[in-house]
């Protein structure tokens, strides 16, 4: 496996549900340190790497988010099963019979599987309905609550999906857990590396926020701390290139470039910034796709409301099977997102930012 893939594997293998992102934070710090003048944190644990360019110009903030959708232990039954709370948006149909890992306070990993009543004992009508998440449980092979406690499990422990990173059959399609949003975090780190090596005219803040999946919380605190002139959220977006999608739903395809959000449920992007990013992509023949997300948002939803308002935009990597144990991205989309964001920031000098922020 090449170094670039090992980097992506390390990010996606790390476990980090909302409020419990320390493994991902450690990976971010490891890769950011060689290129950062300073690394600091907000009070919730979002991490930010600062690099001062040659011009010492405006403050540009780019950020993914560290957290992945997952679960939290809430109860141990007398028989030794685990009841749990979902963290982030889950669709019940993708959860049953999936493997998970519980991380104890001591750092031990306990393997389990999400279970339910078997369909054989359900009525014909009940089998037609989605199974209630509240009725699901995690089976870890224990026989009593005392045995579970001896293994170190207690309420509040983090539960994450279990899946192995892999390249799908020698293709450019990459399968892993937590692409949402380790791929945005990877983009943030690679752009920091590129600009530290190549130079840029501003003060770059490359970060990764906590608790995006439960309400864009880390972006609110990190953006307040950085107080940027321009901000970009780096995230994932839905792909529409699988069977059954309508023409309206199929506006984005894997392998055809990063998505530039023109609307989502958390914000309307800054028009001049949007037009500027599109012009850079067109100038350099970087493929991109316009996209709309009506039922969700990104960290840009909090970034643009920081202090007196910050021109903001979300740039996302199209992803199949979001908010499940297993998701798929295309390698070229990742590289083109890194290239686009790198080239945009190179052009965001003092004069350009003043132009974008003038009304």
Catalytic residue among 21, 23, 68, 212: 212
Asked if residue 120 belongs to a known ligand binding site, the reply is no
CB atoms within 10 A of CB 23: 19
Asked if residue 111 belongs to a known ligand binding site, the reply is no
User: In angstroms, rounded to a whole number, what is the distance separating the alpha carbons of residues 348 and 237?
Assistant: 25
22 is catalytic: no
Asked if residue 323 belongs to a known ligand binding site, the reply is yes
Backbone angles phi, psi at 36, to 5 degrees: -105, 140
User: In angstroms, rounded to a whole number, what is the distance separating the alpha carbons of residues 130 and 121?
Assistant: 15
User: In angstroms, rounded to a whole number, what is the distance separating the alpha carbons of residues 292 and 267?
Assistant: 11
Asked if residue 304 belongs to a known ligand binding site, the reply is no
User: Whole-angstrom distance between the N-terminal and C-terminal Cα of the chain?
Assistant: 50
Structure tokens at 158: 């983090």
Is the sign of the CA dihedral 239, 245, 247, 248 positive or negative?
A: negative
User: In angstroms, rounded to a whole number, what is the distance separating the alpha carbons of residues 317 and 234?
Assistant: 8
Asked if residue 180 belongs to a known ligand binding site, the reply is yes
What CA dihedral angle connects 7, 9, 11 and 17, to 10 degrees? 180
SS3 180: helix
Give the residue ranges of the annotated binding site: 65, 180, 213, 235, 323
Give the residue ranges of the annotated binding site for Zn(2+): 65, 180, 213, 235, 323
Enzyme catalytic residues? 212
């Amino acid at each position: 496996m090449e170094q670039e893939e090992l980097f992506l594997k390390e990010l996606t293998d790390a476990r980090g549900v909302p409020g419990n992102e320390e493994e991902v934070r450690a990976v971010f710090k490891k890769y950011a340190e060689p290129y950062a003048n300073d690394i600091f944190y907000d009070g919730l644990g979002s991490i930010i790497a600062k690099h001062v360019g040659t011009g010492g110009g405006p403050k540009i903030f780019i950020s993914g988010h560290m957290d992945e959708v997952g679960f939290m232990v809430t109860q141990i039954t007398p028989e030794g099963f685990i009841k749990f709370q979902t963290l982030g948006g889950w669709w019940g149909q993708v959860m049953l019979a999936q493997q998970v890992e519980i991380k104890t306070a001591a750092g031990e990993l306990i393997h389990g599987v999400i279970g339910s009543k078997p369909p054989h004992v359900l009525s014909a009508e009940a089998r037609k309905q989605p199974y209630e998440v509240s009725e699901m449980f995690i089976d870890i092979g224990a026989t009593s609550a005392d045995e579970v406690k001896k293994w170190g499990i207690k309420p509040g422990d983090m539960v994450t999906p279990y899946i192995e990173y892999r390249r799908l059959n020698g293709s450019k399609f990459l399968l892993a857990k937590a692409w949402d949003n380790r791929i945005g975090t990877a983009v943030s780190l690679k752009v920091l590396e590129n600009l530290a090596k190549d130079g840029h005219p501003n003060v770059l803040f490359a970060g990764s926020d906590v608790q995006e999946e439960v309400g864009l919380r880390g972006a609110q605190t990190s953006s307040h701390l950085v107080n940027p002139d321009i901000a970009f959220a780096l995230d994932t977006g839905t792909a529409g290139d699988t069977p059954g999608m309508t023409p309206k739903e199929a506006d984005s395809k894997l392998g055809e470039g990063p998505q530039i959000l023109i609307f989502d449920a958390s914000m309307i992007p800054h028009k001049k910034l949007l037009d500027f990013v599109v012009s850079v992509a067109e100038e350099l023949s970087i493929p991109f796709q316009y996209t709309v997300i009506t039922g969700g948002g990104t960290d840009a939803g909090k970034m643009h409301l920081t202090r007196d308002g910050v021109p903001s935009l979300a740039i996302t990597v199209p992803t199949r099977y979001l908010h499940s144990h297993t998701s798929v991205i295309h390698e070229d989309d990742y590289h083109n997102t890194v290239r686009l964001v790198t080239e945009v920031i190179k052009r965001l000098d003092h004069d350009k930012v003043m132009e974008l922020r003038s009304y």
